[in-house]
């Protein structure tokens, strides 16, 4: 049976070039990068510093500004909790938005329980914050604004350059979760005024279990209080023996993204648009979620009215997609991101996230479109609600009889 993987926002297959770069560091070059007294350690340290350069180059940053972590969730926690603790004397107010990934929302809620005040900004129907609302929310005791660059569920891009400029004017640090945009969308941390940025290896065809946090060193110099102690590694912000093979893999994956930045995002966007054109031209009541143009190149989130998302996924079980984000897909609650956009529960339950990656082809897209169209038509044929809607009945005005 043919299988198609279109869940690249959840994770990506490791690029063969990344794996080849990693393999020597499991056996031949297995040294600890903190071992400074022999060649094995020097070899590992050199590989780690080379990877630091590779990641920094994608961001327009300096190598010393890259802190290694276990992934974007840890990076987000270091950025948010670390800044809150380090700058507590200045203030204890943080601003974020209601559609952030749980790895930002949950640390913020944790800080709320420990004396911080957190403002959760609303978003418009496309999933974007209002810059005037953000400006009004910044107070004298605000120490951090954390707004993600690209949403993991709906793909909407936030105007991070404008947010960064506003934060600079007000003397507030700006953190962005760049997990879905690093290596896929051009980023320059200096031009955009970004002080901290979280990223992960497994979203860009690198290995799982490794990530990084960009932490600005100049204008201003940013310091995060450690949340893991023991040895003072990574500028005293993240102790622990470094995952050298993983770091080498992340560095190589970042370098491949940088080398193909002129072509790969455009190719992914073309595949995404090809799928949307095929679905929207053959199915009525297919609704695009998120911003039509300002979105990540890999993401397509669609609600198929009068179809239950889980049923649709079962009907196309040879195609890997997601209903909501992978981190919360075990829940039967409708996506909190879609609800924040004003999408009703019924439509939110009918949404599917398709996310394309480096190894997807036009044939994958055409096969997926055919399978989805067939499955949606089959499910709608069994739906009395769809039949009523086709007959012109306004379902919002129907008074349903209750037993």
pLDDT of residue 328: 47
CA dist list (Å): 245 to 44, 154, 233 = 9, 32, 17
Indicate the SS3 state at residue 352. Answer: strand
CA distances from 214 to 95, 143, 245, 258, 328 (A): 19, 17, 20, 17, 26
* List 108, 179, 224, 327, catalytic entry: 327
| Domains by residue range for the chain, with CATH | 4-9+263-391 (3.90.1150.10), 16-259 (3.40.640.10)
- The whole model's pTM is what? 0.94
7-20 pLDDT, tens per residue? 999 999 999 999 99
Let me know the angle formed at the C-alpha of 99 by 95 and 100, rounded to the nearest 5 degrees. Answer: 65
Q: What is the distance between the alpha carbons of residues 118 and 128, in angstroms, rounded to a whole number?
A: 18
Q: What is the pLDDT of residues 146-171, one digit of tens each?
A: 999 999 999 999 999 999 999 999 99
* The pairing of beta strand 117-121 with beta strand 299-304: unpaired
Percent of all residues in the chain with a pLDDT value above 70, rounded to a whole number: 95
Give the pLDDT of residue 363: 98
Question: Does the active-site annotation cover 257?
Answer: no
Whether the CB-CB separation of 196 and 69 falls below 8 Å is answered with no
Q: How far apart are CA 92 and CA 81, in angstroms?
A: 11
- The residue count for the chain: 403
């Amino acid at each position: 049976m043919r299988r198609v993987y279109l869940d690249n926002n959840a994770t990506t297959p490791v690029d063969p070039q990344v794996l080849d770069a990693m393999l020597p560091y499991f056996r031949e070059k297995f040294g600890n990068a903190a071992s400074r007294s022999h060649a094995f350690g020097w070899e590992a340290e050199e590989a780690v510093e080379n990877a630091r350069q590779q990641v920094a180059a994608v961001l327009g940053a300096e190598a010393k500004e890259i802190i290694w972590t276990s992934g974007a969730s840890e990076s987000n926690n270091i950025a948010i909790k670390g800044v809150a603790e380090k700058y507590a004397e200045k203030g204890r107010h943080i601003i974020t938005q209601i559609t952030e990934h749980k790895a930002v929302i949950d640390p913020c809620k944790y800080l709320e329980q420990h004396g911080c005040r957190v403002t959760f900004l609303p978003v418009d129907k496309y999933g974007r914050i209002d810059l005037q609302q953000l400006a009004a929310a910044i107070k004298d005791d605000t120490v951090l604004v954390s707004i993600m660059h690209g949403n993991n569920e709906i793909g909407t891009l936030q105007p991070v350059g404008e947010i960064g400029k506003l934060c600079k004017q007000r003397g507030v640090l700006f953190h962005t979760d760049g997990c879905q945009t690093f290596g896929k969308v051009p980023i320059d941390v200096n031009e955009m005024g970004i002080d901290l940025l979280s990223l992960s290896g497994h979203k860009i065809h690198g290995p799982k279990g490794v990530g990084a946090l960009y932490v600005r060193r100049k204008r201003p110099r940013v310091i995060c209080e450690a949340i893991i102690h023991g040895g003072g590694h990574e500028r005293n912000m993240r102790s622990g023996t470094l995952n050298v093979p993983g770091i080498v893999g992340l560095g190589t994956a970042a370098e491949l993204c940088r080398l193909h930045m002129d072509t790969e995002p455009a190719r992914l966007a073309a595949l995404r648009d090809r799928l949307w054109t095929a679905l929207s031209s053959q199915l009525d009541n297919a609704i695009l979620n998120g911003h039509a143009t300002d979105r990540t190149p890999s993401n397509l989130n669609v609600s198929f009215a009068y179809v239950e998302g889980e049923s649709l996924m079962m009907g196309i079980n040879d195609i890997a997609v997601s209903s909501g984000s992978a981190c919360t897909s075990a829940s039967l609650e409708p996506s909190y991101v879609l609800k924040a956009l004003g999408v009703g529960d019924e439509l939110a339950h009918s949404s599917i996230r398709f996310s394309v990656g480096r190894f997807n082809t036009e044939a994958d897209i055409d096969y997926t479109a055919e399978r989805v169209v067939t499955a949606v038509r089959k499910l709608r044929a069994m739906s009395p609600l769809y039949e009523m809607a086709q007959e012109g009945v306004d379902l919002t005005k129907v008074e349903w009889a209750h037993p």
